[in-house]
């Protein structure tokens, strides 16, 4: 059957209980109750401390077929996922589902566990590196479920992603299970992506290498939701956890795009008191923030909040009074970690608060403008951020679809040519974020506005910005680089791309090894 974007979705997909196809960004209302985990009691003399992961497995007990969840705040420095799965393999467990909010190159050992039948299902919002490549080549018999950051929060809260045991990599913990992300050698800042797991998993285990005296403070995840605490030698490599200070791009083309993106925000009339903004940590996104900042400084504007993944640049804007608050679901650098630890206006929030579509209101709904990237965008403004030009998975929505749906103005910034390939195509290989939620595409050779937004078009034209039809931009790119051939994929579905509301927006098919 075809979904609202015209994507062919099979009526039956292995591992999916009920195939519901994407009907529109806001066209599938919820019809369920929240998931209710087991109620427990801990007696005054009970200890939550266990000596090893093996002991945790025995105590719970972890059995074949369970779903184990993890957060990705340690990014490519994570040690906990590999540690837990090694334990599972040693204990001879099979058929586990790994629900890891993002998969990085460091998680390569997952491939062996999959081949050995220890792990047979994967649920994630983003993947890059060897696992992503192996998945694309058909590593798993059942398709990997790829969600958005808000969608994962929703799936957990609504019982669609039922977690048996959440292993929470904890930069700091006390013996009663209070956790924060701002102390210890593996400090990572916000622990927002672990919040839903801690709330709704049947069992929650804190895995830490940094114990502090009870009671730990500040508390990100409270003792009331944590069943066991395990101290290990090392939870992760700080070098892979925290990036260096993120720098603004010096590439003149990237700067040109950033400049135009900021001018679009200005033309839309959003640079005024109460302005709220989200941008990525990439060079060009940050460059847009830099231009927006200059505009705010020039006009003496105090914004309301900046949202999403937080960098030192945003921290500086908070400290200079350009934003009143930062709403932080994930911190990228040391400055972000230090700020969330000490600044009461720097808020730590969970993935559900950030972006879940099925609750009583998430933060992306309050966004004025968001700057997003794209691997491909089609002439209907649908965006692919899952697969690369070779059809191999190299990313995922993360918060892309969530922020796009929530913000008043959603801007995709992209070089018209990526290497030698035009970024605009007739039909994206993998639809990730629906075109109805994308308002503007900014490239170095012109700005295309979604025809749904005639209101914006008038304002942007009035500002004298170089507006072009998206078809015209596509032809311009093809004049320079030619039209690339559609790549051929196999039949097997290796991943389903779930929209934030739980419907299927697309599927990813196998590529050749």
Partner 1 sequence: MDMKLRRSMLFIPGNNPGMLQNGGVFGADSVILDLEDAVAPSEKDAARFLIAHALRTVDYGCSEKVIRINPLDTFAAEDIKAVVPCHPDAILVPKVESAEDIHTAVQMIAAAEQPDQTPVKIIALLETPRGILEAYNIAKADPRVVALALGAEDYTAGLGAMRTKEGTEIFTARTILVNAAAAAGVQSIDTPYTDANDEEGLLADTELAKRLGFKGKLSINPRQIDVIHSVFNPSISDIDWAEQVIHAIRKAEAEGSGVASLNGKMVDLPIVNRAERILHLARLLGLIEGAK
Site string for partner 1, 466-495 (x = CB under 8 A): -------------xx---------------
Q: How far apart are CA 509 and CA 254, in angstroms?
A: 32
- Report the residue number, 112 or 251, with the smaller CB distance to partner 1: 251
Paired sense of beta strands 440-443 and 446-449, if any:
antiparallel
Q: Cβ closer to partner 1: 344 or 419?
A: 419
Cβ proximity to partner 1: between 455 and 458 the closer is: 458
The residue among 108 and 481 lying less far from partner 1, judged by its C-beta, is: 481
By the rule CB under 8 A, 366 interacts with partner 1? no
User: Tokens 């009339």 correspond to what residue?
Assistant: 269
| Minimum CB distance to partner 1 smaller for 286 or for 505 | 286
Q: Which of 197, 444, 501, 506 binds partner 1 (CB under 8 A)?
A: 444
Please provide residue 199's backbone torsions phi and psi, each rounded to the nearest 5 degrees.
Answer: -75, -35
- What residues numbered 237-276 form the site for partner 1, per CB under 8 A? 252-253, 255-256, 259
One symbol per residue from 193 to 232: x for binding partner 1 (CB under 8 A), - otherwise; what is it?
Answer: ----------------------------------------
Closest C-alpha among 427, 450, 432, 431 to residue 440: 450
When the beta carbons of 344 and 464 are compared against partner 1, the nearer one is: 464
Quick one: which of 455, 385, 407 has its CA closest to 305?
407
- Helix 334-342 to helix 312-319 angle (10° resolution) is 40
445 binds partner 1 (CB under 8 A): yes
Measured CA to CA, the distance from residue 99 to residue 491 in angstroms comes to: 25
Nearest distance from residue 448's CB to partner 1, in Å?
15
Q: Cα 511 vs. chain centroid, distance in angstroms?
A: 24
Residue that the structure tokens 């669609």 belong to = 160
Report the nearest approach of partner 1 to the CB of residue 279 (Å).
19
- The beta strand positions in 12-130, using DSSP E, are 49-50, 67-70, 96-100, 119-124
CB 259 to partner 1: min, Å: 7
- The structure tokens listed for 180 are 């924060």
Smaller CB separation from partner 1, 411 or 417: 417
Per CB under 8 A, does 464 bind partner 1? yes
CB of 260 to partner 1, least distance (A): 10
Closest approach of Cβ 38 to partner 1, in Å? Answer: 58
Residue 329 to residues 61, 193, 326, 337, 350: CA-CA distances in angstroms?
A: 31, 7, 10, 12, 6
Return the closest-CA partner of residue 418 out of 469, 374, 468: 374
Residues in contact with partner 1 by the rule CB under 8 A: 252-253, 255-256, 259, 444-445, 464, 479-480
């Amino acid at each position: 059957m075809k979904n609202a974007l015209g994507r062919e979705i099979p009526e039956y997909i292995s591992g999916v209980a009920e195939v519901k196809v994407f009907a529109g960004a806001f066209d599938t209302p919820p019809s369920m109750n929240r998931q209710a985990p087991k109620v427990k009691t801990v007696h005054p003399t009970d200890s939550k401390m266990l000596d090893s992961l093996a002991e945790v497995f025995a105590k719970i007990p972890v059995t074949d077929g369970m779903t184990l969840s993890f957060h990705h705040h340690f990014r490519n420095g994570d040690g906990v996922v590999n540690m837990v799965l090694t334990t599972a393999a040693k204990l001879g467990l099979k058929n586990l589902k790994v629900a890891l909010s993002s998969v990085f190159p460091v998680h390569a050992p997952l491939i062996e566990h999959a081949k050995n039948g220890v792990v047979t299902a994967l649920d994630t919002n983003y993947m890059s590196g060897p696992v992503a490549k192996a998945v694309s080549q058909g590593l798993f018999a059942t398709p990997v479920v790829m969600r958005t950051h808000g969608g994962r929060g929703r799936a957990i809260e609504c019982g669609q992603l039922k977690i048996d045991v959440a292993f929470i990599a904890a930069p700091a913990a006390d013996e009663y299970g209070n956790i924060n992300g701002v102390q210890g050698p593996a400090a990572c800042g916000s622990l927002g992506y672990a919040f839903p797991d801690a709330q709704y998993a049947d069992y929650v285990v804190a895995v830490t290498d940094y114990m502090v005296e009870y009671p730990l403070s500040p508390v990100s995840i409270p003792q009331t939701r944590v069943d066991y605490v395990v101290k290990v030698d090392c939870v992760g490599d700080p070098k892979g956890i925290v990036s260096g200070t993120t720098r603004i791009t010096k590439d003149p083309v990237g700067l040109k795009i950033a400049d135009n993106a900021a001018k679009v925000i200005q033309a839309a009339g959003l640079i005024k008191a109460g302005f709220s903004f989200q941008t990525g940590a990439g060079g060009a996104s940050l460059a847009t923030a830099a231009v927006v900042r200059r505009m705010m400084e020039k006009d003496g504007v105090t914004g309301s909040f900046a949202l999403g993944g937080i960098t030192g640049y945003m921290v500086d804007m908070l400290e200079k009074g350009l934003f009143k608050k930062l709403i932080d679901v994930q911190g990228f650098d040391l400055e972000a970690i230090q700020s969330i630890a000490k600044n009461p206006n720097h808020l730590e929030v969970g993935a559900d608060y950030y972006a879940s579509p099925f609750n009583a209101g998430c933060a992306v709904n309050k966004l004025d403008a968001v700057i997003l990237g794209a691997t491909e965008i089609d002439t209907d403004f649908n965006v692919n951020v899952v697969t690369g030009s070779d059809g191999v998975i190299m990313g995922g929505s993360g918060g892309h679809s969530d922020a796009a749906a929530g913000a008043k103005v959603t801007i995709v910034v992209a070089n018209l040519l990526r290497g030698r390939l035009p970024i605009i195509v007739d039909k994206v290989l993998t639809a990730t974020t629906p075109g109805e939620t994308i308002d503007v595409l900014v490239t170095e050779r012109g700005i295309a506005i979604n025809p749904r937004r005639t209101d914006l078009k008038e304002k942007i034209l009035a500002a004298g910005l170089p507006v072009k039809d998206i078809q015209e931009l596509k032809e311009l790119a093809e004049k320079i680089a030619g039209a690339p051939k559609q790549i051929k994929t196999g039949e097997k579905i290796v991943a389903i791309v779930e929209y934030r509301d739980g419907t299927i927006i697309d599927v990813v098919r196998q590529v050749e090894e």
